[in-house]
């Protein structure tokens, strides 16, 4: 068999299958076809990954990539080479009003995989506030119809639950979003921030498989961690199967809050960046940077890779297709290198910690094709 690409000699770390060994990964027709030692030479392309980690392509559960149609979006293809991230979950940048444009003009032509969560507010994130204060935008029927017409793409519903955005609407957006999620049988991702509504009121509405994002937010000091302690409602929600995502962003990751939560045995269920125009150049940067921060806080490498691949893939119901190097899965692959040195990284409170090691992406492979910045330059000509 002639392979499209063989990635040779790296430490293959695939938490979904438990594989952790030096091996070659062979790809044909965009699929993983073999993972074993010393696969023969018959390959169109080969990549020497000796000394590197070979993991499933990273699944970033919280990004904003509806470029050109919102106040904060990036163009995913432009940031993907060198990121390790092959699946960019767009966390509610589009709502029912503007989802068709997202689909036709960005998701379908993109080289990377964009998985949208539909904002329950019809205009999505076209503006920072205002739109979310208008209760008439929480149109359950429009959201339901949009999901039904795009079931092949949309993997969840997104809602903002922060007084900064929703004004006096308190729990109404969360209630409408939960109703839509129930009707379409998909999970709900809830952005938490400055109350009202308070987390204590939001969590009882959340169902098993629903996702809280911005778990380690500092600033307001009254979210998952309150007064240095993980809130009892958060423990209770986790017990019921509610999931807690990082969603670093520009204002939602505090070294102190993360450390307090971890010390009390409250690790994240997924690692995500919330990359947008205000966080991609720091403090979030990208998946490898947020993963490095979680390593620095003491989680081990296989667990950090799991929280960045198979765990988010399962939260999207996509675990057979992405987040694994199982034979037959889509050949989305990341080749990562662990560097040792001194790497100062800031949280969202302006606090710098000195990391002694970090992960960087050497190669990002989407459906068997290495992503290269040069391809973008050619496209622009």
Instruction: Let me know: does 288 contact 336? Beta carbons within 8 Å.
Output: yes
The span of 86-94, 102-110, 152-160, 238-246 binding Zn ion (CB under 5 A) equals 86-94
Instruction: Let me know: does 255 contact 353? Beta carbons within 8 Å.
Output: yes
Integer Cα distance of 321 and 341 in angstroms: 36
Number of residues that bind Zn ion (CB under 5 A): 2
**Nearer Cβ to Zn ion (273/319):** 273
CB of 129 to Zn ion, least distance (A): 14
CB of 216 to Zn ion, least distance (A): 14
**Nearer Cβ to Zn ion (190/325):** 190
**Nearer Cβ to Zn ion (91/311):** 91
CB of 91 to Zn ion, least distance (A): 5
The span of 51-59, 91-99, 331-339, 356-364 binding Zn ion (CB under 5 A) equals 91-99
**Nearer Cβ to Zn ion (46/194):** 194
Distance, CA of 16 to chain centre: 17
**Nearer Cβ to Zn ion (66/138):** 66
Integer Cα distance of 204 and 202 in angstroms: 6
| Using rule CB under 5 A, residue 60 touches Zn ion | no
The span of 216-224, 266-274, 310-318, 371-379 binding Zn ion (CB under 5 A) equals 266-274
Q: How far apart are the first and last CA of the chain?
A: 36
The owner of tokens 């080749």 is: 335
The owner of tokens 């509405």 is: 205
Look at the alpha carbons of 16, 356, 61, 80 in this order and tell me if their dihedral is positive or negative. negative
**Nearer Cβ to Zn ion (60/362):** 60
Q: Build a one-symbol-per-residue string for 220-259: x at contacts with Zn ion by CB under 5 A, - elsewhere.
A: ----------------------------------------
CB of 63 to Zn ion, least distance (A): 8
Q: Which residue is nearest to Zn ion (CB)?
A: 274
User: How many separate helices (H) and strands (E) can be counted in the chain?
Assistant: 12, 17
Within residues 318-377, the interface with Zn ion by CB under 5 A covers none
Distance, CA of 171 to chain centre: 25
Burial 322-356 (b: 16+ CB within 10 A, else e): bbbbbeebbbbbbbbbeeeeebebebbeeeeeebe
Which one of residues 24, 139, 274, 332 is an interface residue with Zn ion (CB under 5 A)?
274
Residues interacting with Zn ion, by CB under 5 A?
91, 274
């Amino acid at each position: 068999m002639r392979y499209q690409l063989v990635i040779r000699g790296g430490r293959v770390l695939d938490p979904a299958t438990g594989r952790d060994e030096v091996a070659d990964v062979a790809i044909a027709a965009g699929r993983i076809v073999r993972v074993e030692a010393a696969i023969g030479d018959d390959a169109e392309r080969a990549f020497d990954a000796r000394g590197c980690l070979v993991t499933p392509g990273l699944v970033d559960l919280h990004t904003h990539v509806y470029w050109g149609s919102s106040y904060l979006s990036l163009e995913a293809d432009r940031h993907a080479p060198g990121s390790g991230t092959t699946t960019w979950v767009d966390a509610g940048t589009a709502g029912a009003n503007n989802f068709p444009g997202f689909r036709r003009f960005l998701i379908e032509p993109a080289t990377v995989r964009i998985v949208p969560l539909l904002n329950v507010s019809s205009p999505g994130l076209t503006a920072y506030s205002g739109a979310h204060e208008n209760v008439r935008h929480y149109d359950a029927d429009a959201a339901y119809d949009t999901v039904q017409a795009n079931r092949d793409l949309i993997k969840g519903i997104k809602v903002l639950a922060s007084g900064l955005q929703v004004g006096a609407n308190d729990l109404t957006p969360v209630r409408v979003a939960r109703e839509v999620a129930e009707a379409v049988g998909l999970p709900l991702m809830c952005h938490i921030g400055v109350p009202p509504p308070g987390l204590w009121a939001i969590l009882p509405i959340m169902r098993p498989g629903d996702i809280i994002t911005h778990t380690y937010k500092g600033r307001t000091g009254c979210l998952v961690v309150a007064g240095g302690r993980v809130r009892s409602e958060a423990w209770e929600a986790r017990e019921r199967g509610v999931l807690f995502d990082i969603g670093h962003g520009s204002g939602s990751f505090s070294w102190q809050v993360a450390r307090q939560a971890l010390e009390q045995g409250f690790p994240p269920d997924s690692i995500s960046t919330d990359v947008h125009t205000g966080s991609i150049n720091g403090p979030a940067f990208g998946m490898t940077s947020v993963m490095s921060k979680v390593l620095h806080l003491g989680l081990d490498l296989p667990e950090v890779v799991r929280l960045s691949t198979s765990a988010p893939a399962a939260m999207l119901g996509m675990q057979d297709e992405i987040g694994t190097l199982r034979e037959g899965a889509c050949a989305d692959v990341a080749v990562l290198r662990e560097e040792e040195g001194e790497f100062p990284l800031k949280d969202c409170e302006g606090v710098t910690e000195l990391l002694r090691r970090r992960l960087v992406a050497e190669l990002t492979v989407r459906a068997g094709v290495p992503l290269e910045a040069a391809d973008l330059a050619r496209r622009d000509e």
